[in-house]
Structure 1
């Protein structure tokens, strides 16, 4: 496992270094054109009722917007990629723009998230606010306080950090604050239910393992999905709508699951990426 982690970390470094890297082996979760292969679930609305055109694509950018909302109304929303993943490297580039929708909670100012190992959109309750998942929390600066990005929040889940079960809902990363409307690159290296790392640009900012069901901070979830201590080794990936206008210009994934049991094959993939990167 140690060799596998080392190899996967090298893969992460290569992926973050090359802006124009080869797309071979990468899955473009956001295709730059439309919302194909995504399901939408907004609190109080049926699946794929995209209330207020919250999630949309304009000029190659995936936008989360609220210009058709009269007020927030606690309409927490999520857009789920339709395939489950277990072991992967996820990379996204985001920025916060504009003003928070009227009535949005203070904590949700310039706040979004990449939800990992989550439940499906179809299994969400009609009035469920957040999926049972692990949140790679995306925060933007407010001009006054430190607001690191890449934090961990745990709706309906707990994790282990340094051998200790962590039940606090949110855990702060070591990232710096990114103010304004600048583009920020974040990532997640996910290896089943063993190790998960959040990355901001080239820095690992938080590490945890043994993700599992537990804790609170989820309303109206199916009780059958809330079995305490159930390890999460796979699940959906989703992005949030929490009242802060947000842009995404990239959401892509390299699936590591075929190589988890064979570090040599993983090393071969890394070597291939190294060669391709040198030619850019």
Structure 2
């Protein structure tokens, strides 16, 4: 993807999620080799956690691989969705990275899904360890890069922010509402969409679509509500999130993923200039 517009302020390690006009470094840097979190064959490196079911139980074969695609489907035993929110966690946590997800919504929403969940999924960032989620827990404590599809008529921004059990800082103020819309266009129909996320520990997270930063914030931290039936020991309000697990969501609408890849930038953590250049190189891939 050609990078058209990106502003990252990394000077002196002081990262700001408030729309800085600082220019990206011109220093040439190679992005690390992409790690394919989805191998195109199976989900053996992933752990499913579906509400009302135990960790590791892939109820009704919700998450499956067919035709080289990681699919989320509800035809294997969902008489009604019944708020059985599902999440598929990659088994290794990350802290500094660029995540790229290629996805498309397909078919019709399953019976019993809420209206807000129509063509709705997400990439959960800095998530809690799936092994610490309780059977009846609805969402992992995490930062959600919300993926939304349009209805061919109305505007509906994509790559929004939602915060199950978390808060973030925007323009130096703690943001506590559950969701925040991005500045993106609407993506209608069953088209393939590429969503990218720049995640730099607890310093900065940016949502990127078509080479444009559509949402930016910093200091992700545990706090607030919008998560239920969790282990209280896992919710330490005010604790900054500088790493965690990546999840893909199942919220009642079928979705396909054909690519889930990650550029691990942890080796650049202590060098803001090289980190800045590596982020640019990864997004230009």
Match of 2:97 among 88, 94, 107: 88
1:249 corresponds in structure 2 to 258
1:173 corresponds in structure 2 to 182
Aligned in 2, Cα 1:53/1:257: closer, same or farther, shift over 3 Å?
A: same
Q: Measure, in 2, the Cα distance between the counterparts of 1:273 and 1:94.
A: 19
2:72 corresponds in structure 1 to 64
Match of 1:262 among 261, 266, 271: 271
Q: Measure, in 1, the Cα distance between the counterparts of 2:211 and 2:119.
A: 22
Q: CA deviation at 1:73?
A: 1.3
Q: Measure, in 2, the Cα distance between the counterparts of 1:245 and 1:7.
A: 40
Q: CA deviation at 1:46?
A: 0.9
Aligned length: 266
Q: Structure 1: state its 5+ residue gaps.
A: 16-23
TM-score of the aligned structures, taking structure 1 as reference length: 0.88
Match of 1:76 among 55, 80, 85: 85
Q: How does 1:119-268 map to 2 (within 5 A)?
A: 119-263=128-272, 265-266=274-275
1:111 corresponds in structure 2 to 120
- Residue deviations 1:61-85 (CA, integer Å, cap 9, x gap): 1000011221111110100001111
Q: Structure 2: state its 5+ residue gaps.
A: 1-9, 16-21
Task: Work out whether residues 110 and 244 of structure 1, in 8 Å CA contact, stay in contact via their aligned partners in 2.
Answer: yes
Q: Measure, in 2, the Cα distance between the counterparts of 1:232 and 1:189.
A: 15
Q: Measure, in 1, the Cα distance between the counterparts of 2:238 and 2:272.
A: 29
Task: Work out whether residues 265 and 278 of structure 2, in 8 Å CA contact, stay in contact via their aligned partners in 1.
Answer: no
- Residue deviations 1:174-215 (CA, integer Å, cap 9, x gap): 011101000000010011001100111211100000101111
Task: Work out whether residues 101 and 259 of structure 2, in 8 Å CA contact, stay in contact via their aligned partners in 1.
Answer: yes
Q: CA deviation at 1:144?
A: 3.3
